[in-house]
């Protein structure tokens, strides 16, 4: 997902507030102008338009297959068949479930990745039937990211139909575990140590043409559980209370975190969910919290993480210091999310290319921002990466009322095609 923060984008989802100033170098603008005049490109653009109805149908087909994170198999199979039917050189599913189609390059010296994610935030049992009212398609997950998957298929079809090959190999993929507790599973696998080397990464997971994600907000998420014996609130009084330890930990953490986040790269923390206890007349046997910390930089993320982990121990020690009987409390710290942060230089070729194309196709000034998407991994490794939009009009991402209208939806596909051609060395 492009988790998108405050202002409403054309997609009705909240977009990041850390929008950066940007300058598009003339050389990239010139390359785009040249490229779009090329008769082969014009023909490819026409083909994208000619298969537009089928691309929308593919989106609908894929949307109606449930695929919560960690359960993308069924959708992966259908998506793989679409890639085979498009005529990919080869299609395979890797160890974690990423579905990948190879489009061989003319030189094959490098490989880059173009992908949408297979998973949605919706659990099994959610009605994912697509409903049409007027020109609007409604269904949970229809844009995020089934539209992205349909774009991947349309791109592969177009390159094959128009017999376009870049110098580099391209992996057209549907990836697993992008959402929530998927924790970028698919992408961590593709960029793991010792993996087949990928030279660049284009993620299709955003809103409008001009909304370009060139940075990854890193995040660390924990479930922390303080534990004790529990007992009757009166009869067992004096034993350690896990709720007290949790409160002590939070109160140790907050002032330090508040000071730490007052300046420098944007860094945040949230005690987001907590719970525990059985009844009003019982000292609980456990108290837990889900905590989210994010930063634009890895250094600040590690800094606040350190403060957090210290505070957990302090909370535990403070409560254990005042218990009058029974065993000391203990604590379990479970990391439930770990997304690295990173930033691609606005002057780097991939970002410059993306901005030049977006400006040309949309007529608007592109907006760079940081967010949390599959590209976080590549950003953090310094691999050229960008997350771009899926086009059309849409809204309600992550809600049951998610919707999409095919308003010039083909432009987003054309945008990715241009980026592939420029990045892959076609001209």
Q: Provide the binding-site residues for its own copies, judged by CB under 8 A.
A: 3-6, 14, 16-17, 180, 217, 219, 221, 232-237, 241, 243-244, 246-251, 254-255, 258, 261, 266, 268-284, 287, 289-292, 294, 319, 322, 336-337, 372
Compute the least distance from the CB of residue 214 to its own copies, in Å. 17
Task: Give the contacts of 282 (CB within 8 A, at least 6 positions apart).
Answer: 230, 231, 232, 233
Q: How many residues does the chain have?
A: 427
| Cβ neighbours, 10 Å, residue 253 | 24
Compute the least distance from the CB of residue 76 to its own copies, in Å. 25
Residue 40 vs 260, nearer CB to its own copies: 260
Residue 333 vs 427, nearer CB to its own copies: 333
Residue 277 vs 425, nearer CB to its own copies: 277
Task: Give the contacts of 19 (CB within 8 A, at least 6 positions apart).
Answer: 367, 368, 369
Residue 131 vs 232, nearer CB to its own copies: 232
Strands 231-232 and 282-283: antiparallel
CB 221 within 8 A of CB 394: no
Residue 180 vs 349, nearer CB to its own copies: 180
Residue 60 vs 290, nearer CB to its own copies: 290
Integer angstrom CA distances of residue 77 from 71, 81, 259: 12, 6, 49
Compute the least distance from the CB of residue 68 to its own copies, in Å. 14
Compute the least distance from the CB of residue 165 to its own copies, in Å. 40
Residue 132 vs 233, nearer CB to its own copies: 233
Task: Give the contacts of 299 (CB within 8 A, at least 6 positions apart).
Answer: none
Compute the least distance from the CB of residue 13 to its own copies, in Å. 11
CA 176, CA 171: separation in Å to the nearest integer? 15
Compute the least distance from the CB of residue 188 to its own copies, in Å. 18
Count of alpha carbons within 13 angstroms of residue 244, beta-carbon side? 16
Q: Which two three-digit tokens encode residue 371? A: 């967010």
CB 6 within 8 A of CB 17: yes
| Cβ neighbours, 10 Å, residue 185 | 21
Compute the least distance from the CB of residue 121 to its own copies, in Å. 9
Strands 90-93 and 169-175: unpaired
Compute the least distance from the CB of residue 319 to its own copies, in Å. 8
Q: Which two three-digit tokens encode residue 156? A: 């592969």
Compute the least distance from the CB of residue 393 to its own copies, in Å. 21
Residue 251 vs 333, nearer CB to its own copies: 251
CA 201, CA 401: separation in Å to the nearest integer? 30
Integer angstrom CA distances of residue 25 from 29, 96, 105: 7, 40, 28
CA 88, CA 169: separation in Å to the nearest integer? 12
Residue 257 vs 417, nearer CB to its own copies: 257
């Amino acid at each position: 997902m492009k988790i998108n923060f405050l202002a409403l984008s054309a997609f009705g989802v909240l977009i990041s507030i850390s929008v950066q100033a940007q300058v598009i170098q003339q050389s990239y603008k010139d390359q785009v102008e040249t490229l779009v005049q090329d008769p082969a490109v014009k023909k490819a653009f026409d083909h994208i338009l000619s298969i537009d109805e089928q691309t929308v149908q593919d989106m609908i087909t894929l949307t109606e297959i449930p695929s919560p994170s960690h359960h993308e198999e069924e959708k992966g199979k259908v998506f793989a068949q679409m890639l085979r039917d498009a005529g990919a050189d080869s299609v395979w599913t890797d160890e974690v479930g990423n579905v990948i189609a190879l489009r061989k390059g003319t030189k094959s010296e490098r490989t880059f990745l173009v992908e949408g994610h297979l998973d949605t935030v919706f659990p099994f049992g959610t009605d994912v039937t697509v409903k049409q009212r007027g020109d609007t398609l409604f269904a949970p997950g229809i844009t995020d990211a089934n539209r992205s998957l349909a774009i991947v298929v349309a791109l592969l079809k177009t390159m094959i139909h128009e017999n376009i090959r870049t110098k580099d190999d391209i992996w057209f993929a549907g990836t697993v575990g992008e959402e929530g507790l998927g924790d970028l599973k698919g992408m961590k696998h593709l960029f793991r140590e010792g993996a087949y080397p990928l030279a660049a990464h284009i993620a299709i997971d955003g809103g409008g043409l001009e909304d370009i994600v060139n940075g990854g907000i890193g995040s660390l998420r924990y479930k922390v559980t303080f534990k004790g014996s529990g007992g009757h609130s009166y009869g067992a009084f004096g034993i350690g209370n896990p709720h007290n330890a949790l409160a002590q930990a939070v109160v140790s953490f907050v002032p330090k975190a508040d000071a730490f986040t007052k300046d420098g790269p944007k860094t945040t923390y949230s005690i987001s969910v907590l719970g525990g206890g059985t009844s009003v007349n019982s000292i609980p046997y456990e108290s837990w919290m889900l905590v989210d910390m994010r930063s634009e930089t890895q250094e600040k993320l590690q800094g606040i993480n350190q403060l957090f982990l210290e505070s957990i121990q302090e909370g535990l020690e403070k409560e254990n210091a005042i218990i009058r009987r029974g065993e000391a409390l203990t604590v379990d710290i479970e990391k439930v999310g770990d997304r690295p942060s990173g930033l691609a230089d606005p002057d780097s070729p991939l970002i410059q290319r993306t901005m030049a194309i977006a400006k040309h196709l949309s007529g608007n000034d592109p907006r760079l921002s940081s967010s949390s998407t599959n590209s976080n991994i590549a950003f953090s490794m310094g691999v050229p990466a960008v997350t771009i939009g899926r086009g059309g009009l849409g809204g309600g991402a992550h809600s049951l009322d998610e919707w999409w209208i095919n308003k010039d939806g083909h432009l987003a596909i054309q945008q990715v095609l241009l980026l592939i051609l420029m990045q892959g060395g076609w001209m």
